Amino acid sequence: MISATLTESRHPIKTSLPAGTDATPPKPLATFLGLFSLGLGLAEALTPRGMADTTGVRSPNLLRVYGVREIVSGVGILASRDPAVWLWTRVGGDALDLATLAGAYRAAGDRDRHRIMASAVAVLGVTVLDVLCAADHTFDPVEN
């Protein structure tokens, strides 16, 4: 009788974790890009004049807005189980950054042009990582 009572329980024994709590570790590149967004965003939002000096883009208010964009993307990547959309926002942000750098280049003197070119090379490098990671998460999403 005791065994019959145990097997006929109204509450079945759970043999798996609830939905949304898998043991799959996050993909390292997405985590890196999320943390990178937070760091870059904080630097742009809190020290826009310093970023203007570093990048050659002489628009501190615009850099502050771009910093907020980076922070939002970073939080979205790190907080989401499937960060594909947030990774694509980084790709869009990269395109915006490159357009901003191109516009700044036309208006810049020689000193700032060197900084702008160095910034463009850095943005292009990160853009490659962003596109690869976003595509990986879009076409091979984390299983639920």
Domain extents for the chain?
A: 26-139
Average of pLDDT values for 71-91?
Answer: 95
Q: Is 20 left (phi over 0), alpha (psi -120 to 50) or beta?
A: left
Contacts of 112 (CB under 8 A, 6+ apart): 56, 58, 104
Q: What is the pLDDT of residues 86-95, one digit of tens each?
A: 999 999 999 9
Cβ(45)–Cβ(62) below 8 Å? no
Separation of alpha carbons 102 and 52, rounded Å = 14
- Indicate whether 111 pLDDT > 50: yes
Cβ(85)–Cβ(139) below 8 Å? no
Per cent of the chain over pLDDT 90 is 76
Structure confidence at residue 120 (pLDDT): 98
Looking at 13-17, 76-80, 88-92, which range is the least confident one? 13-17
Average of pLDDT values for 108-131?
Answer: 97
Separation of alpha carbons 123 and 34, rounded Å = 15
- Indicate whether 117 pLDDT > 50: yes
Task: Report the C-alpha dihedral over residues 118, 121, 122, 126, rounded to 10 degrees.
Answer: 170
- 86 is written with which tokens? 């947030």
- Indicate whether 118 pLDDT > 70: yes
- Indicate whether 26 pLDDT > 80: no
Separation of alpha carbons 87 and 77, rounded Å = 7
Average of pLDDT values for 118-141?
Answer: 93
Structure confidence at residue 142 (pLDDT): 57
Separation of alpha carbons 92 and 122, rounded Å = 16
Structure confidence at residue 81 (pLDDT): 87
Task: Report the C-alpha dihedral over residues 88, 91, 97, 102, rounded to 10 degrees.
Answer: -140
